[in-house]
């Protein structure tokens, strides 16, 4: 799913920005510059919202950007939980495949790790 939330970017004393996404509980992060701060806000919010989705909890409603009372920089951030899952969810998924018997015999004799070979092949094309 894709969500859009307002975020607050406060300049940090040591440089960079401290970021808060007020509508997503416990969503705090930082970045060395604005580009990284935006990226980190998207990542932090996605990670937390994935938990909401997985638990079947109600996704927090985003506030109106104009309603945020702050003197800091405020902006909208796009939060894509589907992309986050694709990048960070490394759970193994069992797949069944079919190959010719003669190829299976040769591959087993050669000590081929089918799972690793398939994983490596897929990673090279995606």
Task: Work out whether the CA dihedral 18, 21, 27, 31 comes out positive or negative.
Answer: negative
Q: How confident is the model at residue 37 (pLDDT cuts 50, 70, 90)?
A: very high
Question: Domains plus CATH for the chain?
Answer: 2-88 (3.30.160.250), 93-126 (no CATH)
Which residues contact residue 92 at a Cβ distance below 8 angstroms, ignoring those fewer than 6 apart?
Answer: none
Least confident of 35-39, 43-47, 113-117: 113-117
Q: How confident is the model at residue 95 (pLDDT cuts 50, 70, 90)?
A: confident
Query: Beta partners for 2?
Result: 80
**Its pTM surpasses 0.85:** no
Q: How far apart are CA 25 and CA 73, in angstroms?
A: 20
Q: How far apart are CA 9 and CA 41, in angstroms?
A: 9
pLDDT value at position 27?
A: 97
The predicted model gives 42-49 an average pLDDT of: 97
Mean pLDDT over each residue of the chain, to the nearest integer: 94
What torsion, rounded to 10 degrees, do the Cα atoms 111, 112, 114, 115 define?
90
């Amino acid at each position: 799913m894709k969500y859009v939330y307002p975020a607050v970017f406060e300049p940090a004393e040591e440089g960079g920005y401290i970021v808060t996404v007020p509508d997503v509980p416990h969503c705090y992060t930082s970045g060395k510059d604005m580009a990284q701060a935006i990226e980190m806000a998207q990542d932090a919010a996605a990670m937390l919202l994935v938990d909401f989705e997985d638990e079947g909890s109600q996704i927090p409603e985003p506030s109106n950007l104009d309603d945020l009372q702050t003197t800091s920089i405020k902006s909208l951030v796009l939060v894509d939980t589907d992309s986050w899952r694709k990048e960070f969810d490394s759970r193994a998924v069992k797949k069944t495949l079919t190959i010719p018997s003669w190829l299976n015999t040769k591959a087993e004799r050669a000590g081929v790790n089918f799972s690793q070979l398939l994983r490596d092949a897929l990673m090279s094309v995606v």
